[in-house]
Amino acid sequence: MAINQRNPVVNRLKTVSRVSAWLGLLVFVPGLAGCSSSTSAVTGNVTFEGKPMTSGSVILYCADGKIVSGLIGSDGSYSIPNASRGTIRATVRSHSRTPAGFSLKSKLPPSIDAPAPPSGMGSGREIIPAVPERYGVPEESGLALAVDQQQVRFDIALTR
C-alpha cells in the first residue's frame, strides 16, 4: 500500500473504503452460509374430514420466532420453502376462494332464447367449509413437526 505524502485526505478515504469493504464481506459471507443450511422446505397435503381442502393457509411458527406460511392449492397441497430448523408448531386457516363482495348475485332480466346453462353450474362461488377455530391457534391446534432435514413432508388431517 503506497502512501501518498502530498494528500493525507485521499489516503484516509482509501483506508476507510478498504476497511468498509472487508467488514461488508465479513458480515455478508457468513449470512449466505447460514441461509442455506438453517432453512428447510415443508410440503404436504391438507384434508378436512377426509376430503382435500381446496383453499386456505398453513402457517408455521418456528422455534426461533420466525413465522412462515404457504397457501393451500385447489388439490389440497401446500409448500413452504423457508421454514427454520427445529420444532415447529403449525396452524391451518380456511378462507374462501373468492373474496366477499366479488361474486354478488346479479339482478339481470331473464334472457329470451338464450342457451340454458350447463347442469351442475352453481353460483360460481365455491363453498369452503370453515375449519374449527382451534386449528388457527398454535397452542391449541395439536399440529407440530420436527424439521431436521432439507425437505420435510407434513400431511395434515383435520377433523371437527
Residues 105-146 pLDDT 10s: 666 666 677 666 555 444 445 566 688 999 999 999 999 999
- For 5, list phi and psi in degrees, rounded to 5: -70, -25
Residue 54 near residue 66, CB atoms below 8 Å: no
Give the pLDDT mean for 65-71.
96
Residue 53 grid cell: 381442502
Q: What is the pTM of this model?
A: 0.62
Query: How far is Cα 155 from Cα 127, in angstroms, rounded to an integer?
Result: 23
Least confident piece of the model among 12-16, 31-35, 99-103, 151-155 = 31-35
Give Cβ neighbours of residue 146 (< 8 Å, ≥ 6 apart): 86, 87, 88
Query: How far is Cα 64 from Cα 43, in angstroms, rounded to an integer?
Result: 20
What is the pLDDT at residue 6?
65
Higher confidence at residue 34 or residue 70?
Answer: 70
Q: Which domains does the chain have, with CATH numbers?
A: 39-102+126-158 (2.60.40.10)
Query: How far is Cα 157 from Cα 46, in angstroms, rounded to an integer?
Result: 6
Residue 8, pLDDT > 70, answer no
